[in-house]
């Protein structure tokens, strides 16, 4: 199953690969070179297909839990001052996505969308300390009666050049559902209350919509 954000790119890539293979067969007579070039095209197609995959996830709905919004590796767990919305201290948990990860963003909690805002910006590498404040990004704040408010931020990286955000202010949303997509690698930051019980460790790999990041 492929994400809808990838349908056009997958179609164009497939068409490009088919045309390229036909041209290679027509104009290149060296058999080993044909094999190398066609194998390279096949690998390229497979990489595009795996990047836009959208596997089904078994989300266990629980208003006491914050779930991982994306697949990837936990690269930050620290107390910070969040200065865009809360203007107070929060626990930041950041998940970095490599180009090999599933890039679907999912709602970490259920409830309603309090804020959804796009920020243009730079394209620093995703692990840069200032990426969260200077890179192109979206900020979404969710609220439910049990957990309270959770802010998550999709951040573009040096390769990612398009962030897709489906969250709209006042939307009623369901935990684990698709909330967006980041094309070609980046990270997502979560900002949680200080009394949150963090359930992950640095460098731990998590699965969007399934892994528990924190609980109240």
- pTM of the complete model: 0.84
Same domain, 72 and 172: yes
Same domain, 16 and 116: no
Please report whether residue 193 resides in a domain.
yes
Question: Percent of the chain scored above 90 by pLDDT?
Answer: 64
Q: Active-site residues: which are they?
A: 186
| Residue 128 pLDDT | 59
Same domain, 135 and 192: yes
Q: Which two tokens stand for residue 198?
A: 């963090």
Q: How far apart are CA 51 and CA 71, in angstroms?
A: 12
Q: In terms of DSSP H, where are the helices of the chain?
A: 7-27, 31-51, 131-134
Q: Which of 49-63, 78-92, 104-118, 126-140 has the lowest mean pLDDT?
A: 126-140
Mean pLDDT of 157-176: 84
| Residue 48 pLDDT | 85
**Sequence-ordered list of residues with C-beta below 8 angstroms from that of 43, at least 6 positions apart, any chain:** none
Is the pLDDT confidence value at 19 over 90? yes
Please report whether residue 168 resides in a domain.
yes
Please report whether residue 56 resides in a domain.
no
Higher pLDDT, 163 or 141: 141
Same domain, 93 and 128: yes
Same domain, 128 and 36: no
Of the candidates 88, 99, 166, which has an alpha carbon nearest to the alpha carbon of residue 126? 99
Same domain, 152 and 77: yes
From residue 43, alpha-carbon distances to 14, 53, 97, 211 in Å are 12, 15, 20, 30
If one counts every other C-beta atom within 10 angstroms of the C-beta of residue 23, the result is: 11
- The residues facing 140 across adjacent strands are 116, 152
Please report whether residue 106 resides in a domain.
yes
Phi and psi, residue 143, nearest 5°? -140, 135
Please report whether residue 183 resides in a domain.
yes
Same domain, 151 and 200: yes
Is the pLDDT confidence value at 185 over 70? no
Which residues constitute the domain of residue 12? 4-51
Same domain, 189 and 107: yes
Same domain, 152 and 105: yes
Cα-Cα end-to-end distance for the chain: 34
Question: Percent of the chain scored above 70 by pLDDT?
Answer: 90
Please report whether residue 211 resides in a domain.
yes
Same domain, 107 and 203: yes
Please report whether residue 23 resides in a domain.
yes
- The residues facing 74 across adjacent strands are 95
Q: What is the mean pLDDT of the chain?
A: 89
Name the domain count of the chain.
2
Q: How far apart are CA 83 and CA 64, in angstroms?
A: 25
Convert the pLDDT of each residue in 69-113 to its tens digit: 999 999 999 999 999 999 999 999 999 988 788 889 999 999 999
Q: What is the CATH number of the domain that holds 110?
A: 2.70.70.10
Same domain, 198 and 117: yes
Please report whether residue 58 resides in a domain.
no
Same domain, 78 and 44: no
């Amino acid at each position: 199953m492929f994400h809808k954000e990838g349908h056009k790119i997958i179609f164009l890539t497939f068409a490009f690969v088919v045309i390229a293979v036909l041209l290679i067969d027509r104009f290149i007579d060296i058999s080993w070179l044909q094999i190398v070039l066609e194998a390279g095209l096949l690998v390229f197609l497979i990489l595009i297909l795996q990047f836009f995959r959208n596997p089904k996830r078994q989300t266990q709905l629980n208003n006491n839990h914050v779930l991982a919004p994306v697949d990837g590796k936990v690269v930050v767990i620290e107390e910070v001052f969040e200065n865009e919305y809360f203007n107070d201290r929060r626990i930041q948990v950041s998940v970095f996505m490599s180009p090999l990860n599933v890039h679907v963003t999912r709602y970490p909690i259920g409830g309603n969308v309090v804020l959804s805002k796009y920020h243009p910006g730079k394209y620093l590498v995703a692990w840069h300390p200032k990426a969260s404040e200077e890179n192109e990004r979206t900020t979404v704040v969710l609220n439910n009666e049990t957990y309270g408010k959770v802010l998550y931020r999709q951040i573009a990286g040096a390769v990612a050049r398009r962030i897709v955000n489906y969250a709209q202010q006042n939307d009623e949303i369901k935990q684990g559902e698709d909330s967006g997509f980041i094309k070609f690698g980046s990270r997502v930051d979560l900002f949680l209350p200080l009394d949150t019980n963090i359930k992950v460790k640095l460098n731990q790999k998590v699965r969007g919509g399934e892994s528990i990041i924190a609980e109240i």
